[in-house]
């Protein structure tokens, strides 16, 4: 709820995520990606209402109580790389102390092996050993990001939620972080990566889900999304065309406000392919929610 009005932050989000698979969730800021991750972890505000099911094995995350989420899910069955890393680090404890505590709680390592295990976790996330004894306020944004990534990887959780895991990193570190996340996936874990970085998504994703105005408008194999035939939804194609190495053409207009969604297609006002049919909400057909999806890579937009 915002300003006394109900806001449908996420609707019709339907997907399966398997072990050994990375699903990249992409879209502009404010489209609902982080809200979806918060819902899965039970971290939504108290006035939020959830409907539907989110099954992790036989556990429905949307109906699980806080005790279950805190004791058996967060960190153990679901690891989180948060969007705002500094807010998730304890300000009065060093990175080393936080890593050692997490290793001890999630893996049971004690004694002399604890220090080595914490340093190994830091190395996985490319966190420099000579910064382990620093406090969070002494870290740059990129270092804080790497510290939270190290913490998230400690427990080898079956599912990892990575919310903008490459923010604040230079290109080399983006690639190294993406490769480490891919190794986590290849070890048999599932990864939901929320990202604006389409290059990182292309590097490690198996499938791509495109979200617009709180709805997944396209769900497709990564190879087809980044290669041939390319995205079919006009918004998804616009995201790719905005990349410097492609057309470098931004998606026209501004994202629709979630408090003022139209009854039909939420993207219609920004879409060159829109027709009168778009006044009706499009159903999802073959993984795409669009009345006029692209059919092949060479097809030109409708007039």
CA 285 to the chain's CA centroid? 24
pLDDT of residue 301: 44
Task: Tell me, yes or no, whether 255 lies in a domain.
Answer: no
User: What CATH number corresponds to the domain at position 60?
Assistant: 3.40.50.300
Cα separations in angstroms, 289 against 12, 18, 69, 229, 266? 11, 23, 33, 17, 11
Residue 163 is assigned to a structural domain of this protein: yes
65 within a domain of the structure (yes/no): yes
Burial of 184 (0-12, 13-18, 19+ CB in 10 A): buried
In a domain, 289, yes or no: no
Is residue 116, in this structure, part of any structural domain at all? yes
In a domain, 7, yes or no: no
Position 295 scores a pLDDT of 85
pLDDT digits (tens, 9 = 90+) for 112-129: 899 999 999 999 999 999
In a domain, 242, yes or no: no
Residue ranges making up the domain that contains 37 = 22-229
Q: What is the pLDDT of residue 7?
A: 85
Residue 101 lies in a domain: yes
Residue 115 has φ and ψ, to the nearest 5°, of -60, -45
Strand partners, 210: 26, 218
For residue 55 the two structure tokens come to: 């099954």
Q: Are 23 and 209 in contact (CB under 8 A)?
A: yes
DSSP letter string over 107-127? Answer: H---TTHHHHHHHHHHHHTT-
Alpha helices in the chain (DSSP H): 33-40, 66-68, 85-88, 95-107, 113-124, 141-153, 171-186, 198-204, 222-226, 234-241
Q: How confident is the model over 242-267, as pLDDT tens digits?
A: 999 998 999 999 999 888 899 999 99
Q: Are 269 and 254 in contact (CB under 8 A)?
A: no
Q: How many domains does the chain have?
A: 1
pLDDT averaged over consecutive 10-residue blocks of the chain (303 residues)?
72 94 95 93 92 96 96 95 90 97 93 93 95 96 94 94 92 93 96 95 97 96 96 96 92 91 95 97 96 73 43
DSSP-derived 3-state class of residue 210: strand
Cβ count within 10 A of residue 109 = 17
pLDDT score, position 302: 46
């Amino acid at each position: 709820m915002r300003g006394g009005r109900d806001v449908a932050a996420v609707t019709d989000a339907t997907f399966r995520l398997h072990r050994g698979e990375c699903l990249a969730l992409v879209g502009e800021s404010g489209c609902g990606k982080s809200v979806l991750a918060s819902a899965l972890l039970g971290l939504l505000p108290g006035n939020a209402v959830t409907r539907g099911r989110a099954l992790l094995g036989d556990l429905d995350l949307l109906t699980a109580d806080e005790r279950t989420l805190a004791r058996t899910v967060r960190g153990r069955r679901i690891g989180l790389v948060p969007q705002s890393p500094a807010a998730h680090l304890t300000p009065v404890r060093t990175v080393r102390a936080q890593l050692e505590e997490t290793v001890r709680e999630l893996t049971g390592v004690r004694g002399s092996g604890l220090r080595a295990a914490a340093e190994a976790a830091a190395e996985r996330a490319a966190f420099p050993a000579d910064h382990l004894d620093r406090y969070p306020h002494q870290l740059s944004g990129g270092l804080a990001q790497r510290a939270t990534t190290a913490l998230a990887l400690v427990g080898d959780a079956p599912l990892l939620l990575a919310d903008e895991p490459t923010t604040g990193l230079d290109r080399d570190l983006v690639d190294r972080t993406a490769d480490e996340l891919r190794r986590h996936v290849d070890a048999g874990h599932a990864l939901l990566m929320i990202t604006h970085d389409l290059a990182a998504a292309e590097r490690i994703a198996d499938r791509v889900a495109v979200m617009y105005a709180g709805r997944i408008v396209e769900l497709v194999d990564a190879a087809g999304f980044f290669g041939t035939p390319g995205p079919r939804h006009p918004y998804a194609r616009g995201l790719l065309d905005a990349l410097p190495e492609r057309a470098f053409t931004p998606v026209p207009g501004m994202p629709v406000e979630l408090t003022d969604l139209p009854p039909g297609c939420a993207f219609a006002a920004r879409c060159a392919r829109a027709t009168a049919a778009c006044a009706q909400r499009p159903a999802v057909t073959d993984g795409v929610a669009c009345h006029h999806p692209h059919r092949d890579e060479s097809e030109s937009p409708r007039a």
